[in-house]
Amino acid sequence: MRNTAVIFFPAFDWAISPSHPEREERLLYTRDQIFEEGIMDLPNVIEYKPRLATDTDIARVHFCVPDISSVTTEAHYVSAGCSLVIADAVMSKQVDNGFSIARPPGHHSMTVVHGNRGFCNINNEAIMVEYIRKKYDIRRIAVVDTDVHHGDGSQEIFYHDPDILFISFHQDGRTLYPGSGFIEELGGPAALGSTINIPLRPKTSDDGILYIIDNLVLPMLKEFGAEVVVNSAGQDNHFTDPLADMRFSATGYAELNHRLKPDIAVLEGGYSIETALPYVNMGLIMAMAGLDYSNLREPDYHPGMFKESPSAMDYIKKLVDAQWHNFSSRDELVKAAKTRFKPMYSVTERIFYDTDYISEDQKNQIKICDDCHGYRLIDSNGHYRTGRDGRIFGVCVPIYACERCQAEAEKHYQKMISQHAAYDHIYLQDRKADRYLSYNCRTGLEKTIL
């Protein structure tokens, strides 16, 4: 038996549209089921109350264009705040672990935010990770994303950080949004092998996913030595989910959680509102609390209903072998990449915001440093459906940057202010100093984000 914190936030006042799959009923059916079954009456399952995240919490992770209030609602502050409440409860040892059952979700939200993509505006897990590192001086954290959609936002935020192990298993991006998450996506030059993707064929079942947990994820977590393990708990791998084509069961999710033993779980996707989510969420809570979930029953499912074919298991085993090799070789990969790309690594990409129909052209430059994993410069131009553009420049200093990189990054910020004609806003995100600045190029005013 373990003491488990649970927090609910259905966000009654936030919806993309009244009939959209991402709506408040996702949590209401779960809440009814859990209270009916008496789970919340158990002495080791403790309900916590939501609170608001702050602008500083959000600015630690995001460059919101033009500002945070323009791309969020109060519901986003509360949803992110729920994960911080759970983090405080776990890190202060009030409980052994905790589950934030809140919406809106966040794992498709990237460093730069021009609007909503994949139902996400701000990234709850990333905000929580940086909060934990700043408040509790925790360095090495693992994020295991179990959503059926690749956690491309979380991947992008952590892509250049070797102290964050990001693992995502998901339905193959060639068959599902967002079309990313392939095994070649291993991290930036200073963090190669710290991003691990496992793209799965449609119709993968409990057997395949649990094989990956046992033979890849758990050995990686042990080798990495994570001080905190976070489950980005998407539940749309379920066989009834209307937005995907996988074959996971509620019992499978409970067993996954039992084996993974996350310190913190944060709800992401899952859109089978009546037939899956109440049972999956109950299974996760029971597993985290150390309760017997062997009698968990869900409609239209019986054990052995789905089996992996020999060819499917062979594919999974090859994936596991390939990604274990990449993870095990990360020191050699980083050494070679730093030599190759020094002093600056550059990459450009086009990002599409499917919900708000925004396209973004983005150029990244990452400093290659021998003493830390370098700072990051982001030139982003958002093209909105109204016909206008929003161009920003962001300077990101990681929390464990060396003093030389911190000083260089500050000079870049000041230099861009003096040459700001092409931009609308210029931002400084200095996680090392916990200082966040926004410069409005049209008014010439600089604001500290608090």
Q: Please, what's the b/e burial string for 239-275 (b: 16 or more CB within 10 A of its CB; e: otherwise)? A: bbbebbbbbbbbbbbbbbbbebebbbbbbbbbbbbeb
Nearest residue to 126 (alpha-carbon basis) of 107, 99, 104: 107
∠ Cα 269 272 276 (to 5°): 100
Nearest residue to 97 (alpha-carbon basis) of 231, 271, 236, 235: 231
The rounded distance, in Å, linking the Cα atoms of 168 and 147 is 8
Beta-sheet pairing, 228-233 with 195-200: unpaired
The rounded distance, in Å, linking the Cα atoms of 45 and 38 is 10
Give the SS3 label for residue 166: strand
Structural contact between residues 372 and 402, judged by C-beta atoms closer than 8 angstroms? yes
Q: Cis link prior to 178 (omega < 30° from 0)? A: yes
Phi, psi for 302 (deg, rounded to 5): -135, 150
Exactly one of 108, 149, 373, 383 is catalytic; name it: 108
**Is 108 one of the catalytic residues?**
yes
Burial of 317 (0-12, 13-18, 19+ CB in 10 A): middle
Half-sphere exposure of 292 (CA within 13 A, CB side): 2
- Continuous segment of H or E residues that includes residue 364: strand 358-367
Give the SS3 label for residue 8: strand
Pull the structure tokens for residue 360: 């973004």
Structural contact between residues 54 and 84, judged by C-beta atoms closer than 8 angstroms? no
Q: What is the biggest distance separating any 2 CA atoms in the chain, rounded to whole angstroms? A: 66
Question: Which positions are annotated as active-site residues?
Answer: 108
